[in-house]
Amino acid sequence: MDDTRHHPLDQEHLDGNALAGALEQFVSDLTSAECTCAGCGSSAPLAAALLYAKAPGMVLRCPTCTGVLLCLTDQGGRQVLTVDGVRHLVIGKP
């Protein structure tokens, strides 16, 4: 059996570790990131969103349509971040 797997992009990819440095920018200043809501398409700094901290976990809602942007929950000591309601997060100056 041939154990060699060929993928059309095999010559071009790295593993996910190579993304660590670029993602650090988001972690250091995430609240100033401009967030685009997947529901209504409006954009605002993440800091302007509506935080509901008394829900099971923390729920961040869009300031325009109140749709859920993201949820941060503790699941048995593991922090789980769900971002289904975010289309884009943009950092840096326009």
Catalog residues that contact Zn ion under the rule CB under 5 A.
37, 39-40, 62, 64-65, 67
Buried b (16+ CB within 10 A) or exposed e, 4-43: eeeeeeeeeeeeeeeeeeeeeeeeeeeeebebbbbbeeee
| Smallest distance from Zn ion to CB 43, Å | 9
| Smallest distance from Zn ion to CB 89, Å | 14
Compare residues 48 and 80 and give the one whose CB is closer to Zn ion: 48
CA-closest candidate to residue 90, choices 29, 49, 10: 29
Compare residues 65 and 83 and give the one whose CB is closer to Zn ion: 65
Compare residues 57 and 87 and give the one whose CB is closer to Zn ion: 87
